[in-house]
Amino acid sequence: MQVVENDDGLIVTFDITKPQPANPQNTLITATFTNKSSVSLTDFDMKVAVPKYLKMMLTPATGTLIPPNRSVKVTQQIKLSNTMHGQVCYK
């Protein structure tokens, strides 16, 4: 698990798993967003960039509003497939 926090109160937690042991080239990243500030974060839209050898599917976030005071979590999944598995590693 990787946790990132910014000065404006946004906390992002990345939970990284290998959902299918028989397919080690696939990785699932679940991003969870919480807001510890006292004001809502609106128009939430996460963008992700990956190298060309990774195929990516970004699922829609569970919301575009992240309420204040850690009252609700917004989640989004990133599904990765390493087309060069065994040749190129990613972290």
Measure the CA–CA gap between 9 and 39, rounded to whole angstroms. Answer: 9
Q: What is the pTM of this model?
A: 0.85
pLDDT digits (tens, 9 = 90+) for 13-28: 999 999 998 999 999 9
Q: Which residues contact 43 (CB under 8 A, 6 or more apart)?
A: 64
pLDDT digits (tens, 9 = 90+) for 38-85: 999 999 999 999 999 999 999 999 999 999 999 899 999 999 999 887
Query: Which residue, 13, 63, 19, is CA-closest to 41?
Result: 63
